[in-house]
Structure formats: structure tokens, C-alpha cells
């Protein structure tokens, strides 16, 4: 099993080593920040002259040279004055020092091999002996604004890859090459699924007819699964008065809200960045009793978030995202069983797509910055314990992440492994005791008295756009029959076969099979190639032999030529495969 702490320490140590090496090779270089990331590490620099990927080998060589003397990391607590004196030459470190001091954080220096850096820790104790020298490499050079703000200076970011072993590094590089072939930003436009427009704006995907089919099938599938489990579907507007988000706390604590606008009467309005405040008001619009709980409001609707352009990434991170959102209003004695139901729902949906390996992240409060969150210590401790116990009961591996909770409650984030071994964060479940207090929600209990419900916020797919981006890459664009925008293509060999082929085409369409008819006056090889390039699951070839036998020849994208088959058997095969989500 991967030792996450050790991997983090390896990567963080390498970020320090990279900073030391660049500063030695390039006098005057100023290192900014250098964290560990999912596949390695990076370090940002303010350089006197630009560098490129061609410079990475000499930097990497210097890292190996310096590593020999890095036999310890020495920690030293310093005052803000001492820290600013040490980094008087580096305005980036100075800014961080002043910020941390203002927040009351302890300031620490870590020194190894004579290189001093401002850092909170998390390194190998003896890098010269512990660092796997064949399991890292510098990867690429990019630009990055200081602190991700376009108003700040553009810095040079050097990325590195790092793992515990060379085998893991090599496997990751192979995986990444395969991922390039599956990149949804490349496959989506090639397969006619979605498009972006500079005139419409970044982060605002538009779906072409084939992409529209995928969205519809995904949403309908999840909707039906929720209806089976007693969800009620609601509908809310896309804007609200700012007073709603003042009440919920989002305007003060959530920094991705869209800018405030005013209507003709001067009323301040804002595009919704989340649906929960609207759903809370729906709950409060009529009285409730203990008998009707749990009450499960569901809605698949778009929210709008003011993401920075540098953080947008195809369908994976957008400004307009559609959530399969649910809010569960529950009695406190129902919380555990409701979480179990949500996880079971997620499990059953994901199995259809071949997702079976999960990693769970439980996001809890930052104990050092409690003022960032709504609610009492008692409520937070209670809700965090419930989530942890729920995940333990589910039996999946999990990690606890400090400081990643929403401001109103802890949450479960579920990562799934795709066809080439990558982990994607999809489902989110949040337990909320605070907003029911904030919105004064209540129900009448069996004792005739008012009681406060809890709320579970859950999105199974998460963002439909993100989920679709993941699916495109998971399937490499070759969707299963039930989901495929075009399920079968009918191909007459020559024009004199068109009449019979057209009858087959019409029969399939009448039975709700998504079918294309290719009657172009071109050769058979070109038509088949087109079906393969568009990753259509099946194509039907019709020539003299098929007409004579009153059958069709069926060919499969995944299994090759399946031979001749009657129209009745063909329809049965397709109908069963679609019904069983194969």
C-alpha cells in the first residue's frame, strides 16, 4: 500500500532541492512556492532570463550533485523580524512571512545542505540516503502567475515527477502517454460532442447533438435510479437576491460567486453558485412532520462559478457546471442509514461504468482556523465522527484531510479509478448541522414538539460536465451501446442495396435505436473506416447476400465480424444490450 506521507515528503524534499539547484545555476533567481502535487512537485521562480525544457537536464544534474550533502533537515523557529531579514532579497517570501505573521502562524526555517527556506515541514529526515534518485525527473517548464492571480507577475514554474520507486515512475509515464491519446479536449471535438467559443467565453462548454445525447442519457439514467429510491425532483431559478446568499454565508465565505448585478428596481441579484439555499427555502415553504422524513429533494441544474481562467480545464473545470444535486432533510437518528443509502446508490451507478475501485477522502475542519467555519465545536465533532464511522462501515480505504471541509460541514469526497488507473474525484457527500440552524428549519416530532433536521448534501456524478470528461477518457471515446450517441450505422455496399438498407434503418429508428444511414456513393472500405473512426459500437453491412437471405451482416467495434443475423434477432440483441446497460 502506498505510504502517502512518505510520498509527500519525497516530493516536498525535491521541491527544496530544485530551488537550491536553480538558485546555484542562475544567480539572482528568487524561489517563490514549491509544494508537492499528485504526481510530483513544482517550484515557482522569478528568473532574470527565461529558461526552457532544454535547460532541465543540467538542473537535474545539479540536483543529484547537491543531494550528496543533504544529510539532514534542520528546523528553526524564527520571529517575523528574523524571517524578513533572512529573505529581504525575496519579495515573495516576504509577502508570505507578513501574511503568516498577521494570521498568528508560527514561522519556521528548514535548512539542508546550506539551503534555507521558509517552510512548515514535511521532508525526508536524511535525503541523501532516503531519496530514491532514480524515481524522479524534471518534467516541463510553464508560466504561472504569483499566487494564481492574473494581476501579479508571471513566474517560471518547473514541474517534476516523483514516486517511491523507478517502477512507479515508469508506469506513470506510460499511463500519461495513454492519457494523451484519451484526452477529452482532443476526442470531444473530433467525435462532435462539444465545442468552446471565444465569443461565448472560456469555461462555458456548448454541446453538439451527439454530446446532447450523452448528457440526456446520463441524466435520465441517474434520475431513474434516484426515483427508485424515493427522491422528489424540484426546480429552482438560476438567480436569487443576494440576501439569500448573505443568509447562507456564501457571499462572505465562498470566493467563486459571480459578480453582483442589479435589476431595474435596484435589487441586488446574483447567479447561483450552488443550489442548497434555494432548496432550504423550498423546505421551509411548508410544514413537515417526522413521518415524511427523510425528505430527498433532487434536481439536475446548472450553477455558475467565477473560476479563474488559468484554472479552467476542458470539461473538468468550467464556469457553468450542471450538478445532479440532492439535499436530504433527515432526523438525526436517520443520518447513518441515509449515508449508507447514498453510498449504495453511488456504488450501483458507478458499476454500470466499470468503476469499482474507490478511495475516500474525509474532509474535516482546520483546527487552527475555526473562525472560517459555521457552528460549534460540538456540532463539528459530532458530524465528523458520523462521516468517519459511515465510511468505515462501507469498508473502502480512506484518508482524512484537515482543512478541506465546506464552511458549514465536513464532507466525503469519493475518488474512482478509471480504465488506465487514474483516480478522479466525483461524488461528494456533506453532512450539515449548521445551515438547518441558520435557516431555522424544523419538523414536528412524534412528541408533538419542534425539532431541527440535519441536511445531507450529495451529488453522485458531481458535475455532469466533469463526469462526461472523465467518461470520454475512461472509454477513450468508445462508449457502450446504451450510451453511444450513434448506436449503429447501416451501410449498403452499393446504391442498388439502398432500398433494403433503408428499410432496416427505418425499423431500427422506429424501435428507438440511434441509427445512421450511410448511402454515400463511396466505397465500402471508406464507410467502414468512418464508422470505426467515430467509434460507433456496431455497423451493418448490406449487399447481395444479405438481401437474398433477408438478413444483415453485423460487425462490432469491439468483437469484429459477428456474421449474418435476422432483423428480429438484431433488434432483440440491441434491445437487451441497451436494457442491461452493456
Catalogue the active-site residues.
Answer: 276, 305, 323, 325, 327, 411, 457
Distance separating alpha carbons of residues 91 and 82, to the nearest angstrom? 15
* Strands 154-162, 538-542: pairing kind: unpaired
Distance separating alpha carbons of residues 434 and 318, to the nearest angstrom? 28
CA dihedral 134, 136, 140, 146 (to 10 degrees): -150
Q: Sign of the CA dihedral 159, 162, 166, 170?
A: negative
Find, among 466, 478, 474, the residue nearest to 356 by Cα.
474
Phi then psi for residue 13, to 5 deg, are -60, -45
Distance separating alpha carbons of residues 395 and 403, to the nearest angstrom? 24
CB 246 within 8 A of CB 401: no
Q: In the 3-class helix/strand/coil scheme, how is 207-244 assigned residue by residue?
A: ECHHHHHHHHHHHHHHHHHHHHCCCEECCCCCEEEHHH
Distances (CA, A) of 97 to 13, 31, 92, 122: 20, 14, 9, 18
DSSP 79: -
Distance separating alpha carbons of residues 133 and 65, to the nearest angstrom? 11
Distances (CA, A) of 190 to 24, 286, 460, 481: 46, 49, 28, 19
409 is written with which cell numbers? 460541514
Distance separating alpha carbons of residues 45 and 143, to the nearest angstrom? 10
Encode 118-152: b = buried (16+ Cβ within 10 Å), e = exposed: bbeeebbeebbeebeeebbbbbebeebbbeeeeee
Amino acid at each position: 500500500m502506498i505510504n502517502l506521507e512518505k510520498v509527500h515528503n519525497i516530493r516536498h524534499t525535491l521541491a527544496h532541492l530544485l530551488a537550491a539547484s536553480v538558485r546555484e545555476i542562475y544567480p539572482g533567481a528568487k524561489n517563490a512556492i514549491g509544494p508537492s502535487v499528485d504526481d510530483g512537485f513544482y517550484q515557482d521562480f522569478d528568473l532574470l532570463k527565461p529558461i526552457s525544457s532544454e535547460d532541465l537536464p543540467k538542473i537535474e544534474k545539479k540536483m543529484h550533485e547537491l543531494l550528496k550533502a543533504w544529510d539532514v533537515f534542520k528546523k528553526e523557529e524564527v520571529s517575523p523580524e528574523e524571517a524578513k531579514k533572512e529573505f529581504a532579497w525575496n519579495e515573495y517570501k516576504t509577502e508570505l512571512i507578513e501574511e503568516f505573521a498577521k494570521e498568528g502562524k508560527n514561522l519556521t526555517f528548514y535548512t539542508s545542505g546550506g539551503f534555507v527556506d521558509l517552510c512548515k515541514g514535511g521532508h525526508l529526515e536524511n535525503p541523501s540516503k532516503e531519496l530514491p534518485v532514480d524515481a524522479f525527473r524534471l518534467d516541463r517548464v510553464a508560466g504561472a502567475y504569483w499566487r494564481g492571480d492574473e494581476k501579479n507577475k508571471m513566474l517560471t514554474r518547473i514541474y517534476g515527477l516523483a514516486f517511491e520507486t523507478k517502477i512507479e515512475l515508469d508506469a506513470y509515464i506510460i499511463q500519461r502517454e495513454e492519457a494523451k491519446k484519451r484526452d477529452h479536449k482532443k476526442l470531444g471535438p473530433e467525435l462532435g460532442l462539444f465545442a468552446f467559443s471565444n465569443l461565448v467565453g472560456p469555461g462555458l462548454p456548448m454541446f453538439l447533438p451527439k454530446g446532447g445525447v450523452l448528457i440526456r442519457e446520463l441524466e435520465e439514467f441517474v434520475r431513474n435510479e434516484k426515483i427508485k429510491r424515493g427522491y422528489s425532483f424540484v426546480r429552482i431559478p438560476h438567480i436569487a437576491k443576494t440576501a439569500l446568499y448573505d443568509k447562507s454565508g456564501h457571499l462572505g465565505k465562498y470566493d467563486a460567486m459571480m459578480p453582483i448585478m442589479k435589476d431595474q428596481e435596484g435589487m441586488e441579484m446574483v447567479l447561483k453558485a450552488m443550489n442548497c439555499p434555494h432548496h432550504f427555502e423550498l423546505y421551509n415553504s411548508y410544514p413537515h412532520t417526522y413521518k415524511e422524513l427523510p425528505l430527498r429533494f433532487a434536481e439536475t441544474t446548472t450553477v455558475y462559478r467565477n473560476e479563474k481562467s488559468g484554472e479552467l480545464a476542458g470539461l473538468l473545470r468550467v464556469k457553468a457546471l450542471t450538478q445532479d444535486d440532492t439535499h436530504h432533510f433527515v432526523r438525526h437518528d436517520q443520518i447513518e442509514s441515509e449515508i449508507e443509502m447514498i453510498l449504495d446508490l453511488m456504488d450501483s451507478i458507478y458499476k454500470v461504468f466499470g468503476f469499482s475501485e474507490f478511495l475516500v477522502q474525509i474532509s474535516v475542519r482546520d483546527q487552527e482556523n475555526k473562525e472560517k467555519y459555521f457552528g460549534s465545536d460540538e456540532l463539528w465533532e459530532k458530524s465528523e465522527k458520523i462521516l468517519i464511522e459511515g465510511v468505515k462501515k462501507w469498508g473502502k480505504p480512506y484518508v482524512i484531510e484537515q482543512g478541506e471541509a465546506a464552511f458549514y460541514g465536513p464532507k466525503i469526497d469519493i475518488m474512482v479509478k478509471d480504465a488506465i488507473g487514474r483516480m478522479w474525484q466525483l461524488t461528494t457527500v456533506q453532512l450539515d448541522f449548521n445551515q438547518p440552524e441558520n435557516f431555522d428549519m424544523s419538523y414536528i416530532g412524534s412528541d408533538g414538539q419542534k425539532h431541527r433536521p440535519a441536511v445531507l448534501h450529495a451529488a453522485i456524478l458531481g458535475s455532469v460536465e466533469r463526469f462526461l470528461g472523465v467518461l470520454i477518457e475512461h472509454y477513450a471515446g468508445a462508449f457502450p451501446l446504451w450510451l453511444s450517441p450513434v448506436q449503429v450505422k447501416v451501410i449498403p455496399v452499393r446504391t442498388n442495396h439502398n432500398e433494403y438498407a433503408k428499410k432496416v434503418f427505418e425499423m431500427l429508428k422506429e424501435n428507438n435505436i440511434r441509427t445512421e444511414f450511410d448511402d454515400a456513393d463511396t466505397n465500402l472500405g471508406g464507410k467502414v473506416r468512418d464508422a470505426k473512426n467515430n467509434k460507433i459500437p456496431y455497423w451493418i453491412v448490406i449487399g447481395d447476400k444479405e438481401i437474398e437471405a433477408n438478413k444483415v451482416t453485423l460487425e462490432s467495434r469491439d468483437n469484429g465480424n459477428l456474421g449474418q443475423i435476422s432483423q428480429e434477432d438484431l433488434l432483440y440483441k440491441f434491445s437487451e444490450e441497451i436494457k442491461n446497460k452493456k
